[in-house]
Structure 1
Amino acid sequence: MGAPSTGRPMRADARRNYERIVETAREAFAEHGPDAPLDDIARRAGVGAGTLYRHFPNREALIEAVYRSSIETLCRRSGELRETMPPVDALEQWMREQVAWVMDKRSLATTLKALIDHDSETFTLCRTMITDAAAELLKPAQEAGLIRADIEPRDVLRFGHGIGVACEKTPEVADRLLAVTFDGLRVAGR
């Protein structure tokens, strides 16, 4: 998870504090919602309130950082899978992880996303990052002739999100729905 760029590198201890605050806030928001007390987040992260407010001048800045961090983690997996697996296998594994992420984090992500201005730099950045991650996996599978050429990166995201939402209460159904989706994504006979 990266701290926002301020033009100069963050000291190692400041970066650790930033990352600890974001992770602690994610846990606190998951437990208590986005109104979790910021002073409690600072205490649980092992930093003073001044340190929290130095990094995050208001609740909205912390909410945006938690949301961005969550998206960055999912996007980082795209690159890891692309480097270690054949193209279609990497795409399928990432879609599985996307579905698991949606089922696990959807209520928190939905709440946080609702609090972020959809015209904000954070929201635009997150949408671009996740679309780029999907494209980086989709394009090689299409170039290999294994995935239909008419599928777009946003389609991949829609399929994963839809399955994740549909399976929140019945996670055991997700693998079957993913298998049907993968069959539909593949070029016929491949």
Structure 2
Amino acid sequence: MTQNTAPRPLRADAQRNIDSLLDAAKSVFATSGVDAPAKEIADLAGVGVGTLYRHFPKRADLVKAVFQHEVDATADAAPLLAEQHDPVMALEKWLHRYTEFLVTKRGLASALHSGDPAFDALPSYFLGRLGPALGSLLDAAVEAGEIRAVASPKDLLYAVSKLSLPMGDEEPEHGRRMLDLLVDGLQHGADKTGC
């Protein structure tokens, strides 16, 4: 007899608890860092500390889950934006959404760069999810003649990351202005007649 090894689907209340914990952890990590007390995260999520530890037994599990959750939300925004906007506007809105993710990533930076092997797969997860999402938006904007084909998705992911670095009191306004300049630059000299 073979045993079914597929994971059981989560109950709706368990999924709500996980979603609440991920949102709370994202917020707490951004303000208090990844070493914030578990109780602070659980209280913000409206659950007990035991619920936090049941779903995320180690701090690394929670950090990794927050990172992956934010990567997934950012990647999943691409097709929705493509349906709702013209190609260059969808690209611009997605890049702004990506900068919001970068703020979360900065809150996780100390853990992500700690050398903990639990985080070793995250860079490829990041590129594997965000690269294709951005690539689809770039391809659509190039095909529509709205931007020039001068950068790969990986180039843009890293360029926006660098442009979004905090600049003293101007954060996050500085990053938004730099991103707008980047999008303007991509449009400069584009074949507006389309391909």
Give the TM interval when normalised to the shorter protein.
Answer: 0.7 to 0.9
Tell me which residue corresponds to 1:59.
59
Q: For residues 129-140 of structure 1, what are the structure 2 equivalents within 5 Å? A: 129-140=129-140
User: After superposition, what is the alpha-carbon deviation per residue over 1:53-79, rounded to whole angstroms, capped at 9, x for unaligned?
Assistant: 221121100111111122222222222
Q: Which runs of 5 or more structure 1 residues have no equivalent in the other structure?
A: 1-5
Shift of 1:85: 0.7
Structure 1 position 157 matched with structure 2 position 157: yes
Conserved? CA contact 1:87–1:137, under 8 Å: yes
- The one-letter code of the counterpart of 1:148 is R
Give the 3-state SS of the residue equivalent to 2:129 in structure 1.
helix
Q: CA RMSD in A?
A: 2.6
Q: State the TM-score, normalizing by the size of structure 1.
A: 0.80
Conserved? CA contact 1:64–1:112, under 8 Å: no
Conserved? CA contact 2:164–2:174, under 8 Å: no
TM-aligned CA distance change 1:100 to 1:29, over 3 Å? closer
Conserved? CA contact 2:165–2:175, under 8 Å: no
TM-aligned CA distance change 1:94 to 1:113, over 3 Å? same
Conserved? CA contact 1:78–1:137, under 8 Å: yes
Q: Which moved more, 1:35-44 or 1:154-163?
A: 35-44
Tell me which residue corresponds to 2:3.
none
User: After superposition, what is the alpha-carbon deviation per residue over 1:7-55, rounded to whole angstroms, capped at 9, x for unaligned?
Assistant: 3311101101111111222222223211112244334433333322221
Structure number with greater Rg is 2
Tell me which residue corresponds to 1:3.
none
Conserved? CA contact 1:67–1:112, under 8 Å: no
Shift of 1:138: 0.8
Aligned-partner Cα distance in 2 for 1:127–1:118:
17
Q: For residues 2-21 of structure 1, what are the structure 2 equivalents within 5 Å? A: 7-21=7-21
Aligned-partner Cα distance in 1 for 2:72–2:168:
22
Q: Which runs of 5 or more structure 2 residues have no equivalent in the other structure?
A: 1-5
Q: State the TM-score, normalizing by the size of structure 2.
A: 0.78
Q: Which moved more, 1:93-102 or 1:54-63?
A: 93-102
Q: Which moved more, 1:41-50 or 1:56-65?
A: 41-50
Q: For residues 58-137 of structure 1, what are the structure 2 equivalents within 5 Å? A: 58-102=58-102, 104-105=103-104, 107-115=106-114, 117=117, 120-137=120-137
TM-aligned CA distance change 1:12 to 1:30, over 3 Å? same
Shift of 1:144: 2.0
Aligned-partner Cα distance in 1 for 2:16–2:107:
23
Conserved? CA contact 1:100–1:164, under 8 Å: no
Aligned-partner Cα distance in 2 for 1:177–1:49:
41
Conserved? CA contact 2:34–2:108, under 8 Å: no
Aligned-partner Cα distance in 2 for 1:49–1:100:
28
Q: Which moved more, 1:22-31 or 1:172-181?
A: 172-181
Aligned-partner Cα distance in 2 for 1:132–1:110:
23
- The one-letter code of the counterpart of 1:99 is T
- The one-letter code of the counterpart of 1:140 is A
